Structure 1
Amino acid sequence: MQVKSGHVLGYKNMKVPYLIQSKAESPKGLAIFLPGIGYTMRNPLLHFSSGSFLNRGYDVLHINYLYYTEEYDAFTIDELKTALLQDVTSILNDVLTSMDYSSYYLLGKSFGTLAMSTALEFEQLQNAKTVWLTPNLKDETVMHAMMTSSQKGLCIIGDKDPFYDSEKIEQLMRNKNVEYVIPTGVNHALEVDNDIFKSMDSVKSAIQSINNF
């Protein structure tokens, strides 16, 4: 497997690392991952989803912003959102100008979903398939992006997730471009509290849904 690491200077000239992995000589496309604040590419859902794309012949781009580190401790949530949008834009500017793919996936987890609409403004991503993993449905930006998305999308959120809201899901379902998977008894990590084996099954099921999408 080929691995290319890099970084950009993002918000306030802070270093934002990224990683591009490739297994195929002629990749089918590029899968772009926008992780959460504390839910990184090392966590099960994103780690194995990334591996699934690699096995299917896609290159993967991990945008590894470091908002969980002490350098960002003084940031307010609004400033973190500002940093997220600028950092994602900077990395995509750096990567997409030097690479060209015929197919794109854009996957956001939790906080990362706040940057989905910004990423979709890039010309290369106009027709990207979108995967909304445990999106923050309390955020108006996320709600608007999902309700107006013209891209084919998949949303996975458990009914025990603090961001889950059945009324908002009902509103969002009016947009037929996005399909929904809502596992019961599943939390924000798409796991089941106090049950390791059910958690493993839940994460596996979510990855299978992404793989089939």
Structure 2
Amino acid sequence: MSDKKIVVIFPGVNYSADCPLLYYAVFKFETRGYEKVAINYGDLTNKYDSLAQLIQGIKSDVLLRLKDIDLSQYDDIVFVSKSMGTAVAGWIEEKLCIKARHIYLTPLNETLPYIKKDKNIITVIAGTKDKFLDTETLKEHCKKENIYLKLIEGAGHRLEVRGDMNKNIELLKEIVSTY
């Protein structure tokens, strides 16, 4: 009997599963025999006034959708999340009482409670110019929790360096190699 494996993609608000970091995550895990589920928030992102409300609304919506999939039947569950999706992924793992391995891309402050040493975190990746979460705050948190943090010098929230195509292709390759 072969292992049942699944990768679940939790995108950001303006960073869908078709964007490079998530597209190649799916590609890489599918070649390793993982089933995939890519969450799509649809028009939910237009329905809320604040990020906090948006995250709450999306958590409930995603929980309903994932309840249709019996994640407990999988031997390996990997959550790849970006930005707002990082807060949702951390919460979903706890809510469904499952053990997932995490790849957190550009987490938010709201994600920090889920980035803990007793979780199975493959990597946390952020840019030093990310405007959504202070680099020092994230560094201190990961150090305290003994979690591997990969900081990309000069990269913003999309893990890209403005205006440097070659550098961004290099970064994409470097980041995807950690998955």
Residue equivalent to 1:173? 143
The 5 A counterparts of 1:1-213 are: 26=2, 28-66=4-42, 69=43, 72-77=45-50, 78-96=52-70, 100-121=73-94, 122-123=96-97, 125-126=98-99, 128-136=100-108, 139=109, 141-146=110-115, 148-153=116-121, 154-168=123-137, 169-176=139-146, 178-210=147-179
Q: Which amino acid aligns with 1:162?
A: K
The alignment partner of 1:188 has SS state of: coil
Q: What's the TM-score once normalised by structure 2's chain length?
A: 0.88
1:173 Cα shift?
Answer: 1.5
Distance 2:47 2:105 in 1: 27
Cα distance, 1:181–1:72 mapped onto 2, change above 3 Å: closer
The alignment partner of 1:209 has SS state of: coil
Verify the 8 A CA contact 1:89 1:118 in the aligned structure 2.
Answer: no
Deviation readout 1:173-212 (Å, 9 max, x if unpaired): 1112x211111111211111101111111111111111xx
The alignment partner of 2:177 has SS state of: helix
1:152 Cα shift?
Answer: 2.0
Distance 1:73 1:163 in 2: 19
Instruction: Give unmatched runs, 5+ long, in structure 2.
Output: none
Distance 2:35 2:89 in 1: 19
Residue equivalent to 1:20? none
- Aligned pair count reads 175
Q: Which amino acid aligns with 2:81?
A: G
Verify the 8 A CA contact 1:27 1:57 in the aligned structure 2.
Answer: no
Query: Max radius of gyration: which structure?
Result: 1
Q: What's the TM-score once normalised by structure 1's chain length?
A: 0.75
Cα distance, 1:83–1:74 mapped onto 2, change above 3 Å: closer
Distance 2:67 2:119 in 1: 21
The alignment partner of 1:163 has SS state of: coil
Q: Which amino acid aligns with 2:68?
A: D
Over the aligned positions, Cα root-mean-square deviation in angstroms equals 2.0
Verify the 8 A CA contact 1:85 1:115 in the aligned structure 2.
Answer: yes
Distance 1:90 1:72 in 2: 17
Q: Which amino acid aligns with 2:19?
A: N
